[in-house]
Amino acid sequence: MELPKITILDEKNKILHQKSFEVKFPVSKEDQKLAEDTIKYLKMSQDEKIASKYNLRAGMGMAFVQLGILKRIFVIANKNDNGSFEEYVIINPKIISQSEELIYVGEGEGCLSVNRSVDGIVPRHARITVEYYDYQGNKKITRVREDLAVAFQHEIDHLNGILFVDKIDKKNPYKNANKMREI
C-alpha cells in the first residue's frame, strides 16, 4: 500500500488560525479524492508497521485546513477494537446539541500539526450531535460520544481557526480537571 502524498501544516503556519469557508455542492472530485486519500493516510498512520516504515505519528482525524485548504471539511478514521475502521467525511458541520457533562483525554490531546508534547487538558463535551452534509449536499445528523466526540470537537475547532493548545489554560494547564471525567 502506497502512502498518499499529503503535506500536513505545522502549528507555526498562520493559515491554521484562519476560519475555513463553507463548501459549495456538489463537492469537487479533487476534494473527494483528497478526503479519501486523507482517510487512507490516517488508517495507515494507525498501523504500527506502516507508521514505523514511513515515520508517521498516529492520527485519527484531519481537517482540510491542516492541508492548507480553507474549506469546512474534516475526515476521521476511528479504529475499532476488532481492527476495522469507522470512516467519516464531514462537510460544513454544526454542533446542534451537546451534553452538559465534560470530559478530557487523560494522556492529553494530540494533533498532527502540533509536533511537540503539550501538558494540559482540553475540556470537551462527552456527547455531541452534529449536523453535516455528504458529498452531494444531503443533510446528515450523527451523535457521537467519548473519543469520537473529542475528535469531532477537535476537528471543528480546526475549521474555526482554533488549535487544541489554544484551549489549554496557560497558567493552570489542569484547571478544573476535578470537575470533568477523564477518558
The string of pLDDT tens digits covering residues 51-67 is: 999 999 999 999 999 99
The string of pLDDT tens digits covering residues 108-158 is: 999 999 999 999 999 999 999 999 999 999 999 999 999 999 999 999 999
Number of H helices, E strands in the chain: 3, 8
Residue 95 pLDDT level (bands cut at 50, 70, 90) = very high
Count up the domains in the chain and report the number: 1
133: which 3 cell numbers?
Answer: 452534509
Residue 8 lies in a domain: no
Catalytic residues: 155
Q: Of the candidates 36, 35, 11, 43, which has an alpha carbon nearest to the alpha carbon of residue 110?
A: 11
Per-residue pLDDT at 1 exceeds 80: no
pTM summary value? 0.96
Residue 96 lies in a domain: yes
Q: How close are the terminal C-alpha atoms of the chain, in Å?
A: 33
Q: Using CB atoms within 10 A of its CB, is residue 22 exposed (0-12), middle (13-18) or buried (19+)? A: exposed
Residue 58, helix vs strand vs coil: coil
- What's phi and psi for 77, nearest 5 deg? -125, 100
Give mean pLDDT, residues 5-33: 97
CATH number of the domain bearing residue 20? 3.90.45.10
Domain of 114, in residue numbers? 14-182
